[in-house]
């Protein structure tokens, strides 16, 4: 297993986690032990305001790798506990068994298909509700697109991304 405190930031620069990051890692480890999961949290990176933590171990693929709902639910719980115990400023993004990378690729494929429809029909296209980090990735994908823009609509767990022709809104 890798050193769970040796991380790279999103620019590839080696860095050490701060005190709050280490506290958050400890909280995640406590939650894994309390749930009797055969998982160890390891800090992968810092991505913007997120501390990205991999859950590594025998239970990673079995419990979290196939379906993101369990991983998202655990992430929500972890963030509530971390916020309560440590305070604001640390936001956790959990990954297990490479799920987030597979999901990101899947979302990008869907978004590109929707964008083609938006360009062809000059009509908006709506995603199903998505968690914040997935909405953000779609917004980043279309930030510089000359033909398609994205925006979010709705509240809480019902918040979704809408793709629209860029020229239709001034």
CA atoms within a 13 Å half-sphere pointing along the CA-CB vector of 81: 17
Mention every residue, 6+ apart, whose C-beta is less than 8 A from residue 38. Answer: 57, 58, 59
Please tell me whether residues 66 and 27 are part of one structural domain: yes
Q: Which domain holds residue 139?
A: 102-168
Answer yes or no: is 158 within a domain.
yes
Please tell me whether residues 13 and 82 are part of one structural domain: yes
- Other C-beta atoms closer than 10 Å to the C-beta of 152 total 16
Please tell me whether residues 67 and 147 are part of one structural domain: no
Query: pLDDT (tens digit, 9 = 90+) per residue, 31-71?
Result: 999 999 999 999 998 877 789 999 999 888 887 766 788 89
Residue 12 has pLDDT above 60, yes or no: no
């Amino acid at each position: 297993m890798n050193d769970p405190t040796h991380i790279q930031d999103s620019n590839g620069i080696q860095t050490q986690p701060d005190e709050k990051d280490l506290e958050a890692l400890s909280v995640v480890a406590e939650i894994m032990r309390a749930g009797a999961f055969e998982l160890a949290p390891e800090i992968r990176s810092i991505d913007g305001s997120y501390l990205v933590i991999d859950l590594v171990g025998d239970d990673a693929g079995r419990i979290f790798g196939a379906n993101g709902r369990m991983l998202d639910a655990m992430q929500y719980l972890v963030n509530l506990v971390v916020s309560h115990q440590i305070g604001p400023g640390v936001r956790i993004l959990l990954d297990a068994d490479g799920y987030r990378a597979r999901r990101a690729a899947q979302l990008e494929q869907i978004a590109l298909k929707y964008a083609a429809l938006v360009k062809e029909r000059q009509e908006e296209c709506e995603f199903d509700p998505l968690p914040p980090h997935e909405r953000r990735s779609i917004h980043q994908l279309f930030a510089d697109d000359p033909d398609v823009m994205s925006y979010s609509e709705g509240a809480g767990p019902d918040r979704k991304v809408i793709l629209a022709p860029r020229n239709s809104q001034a």
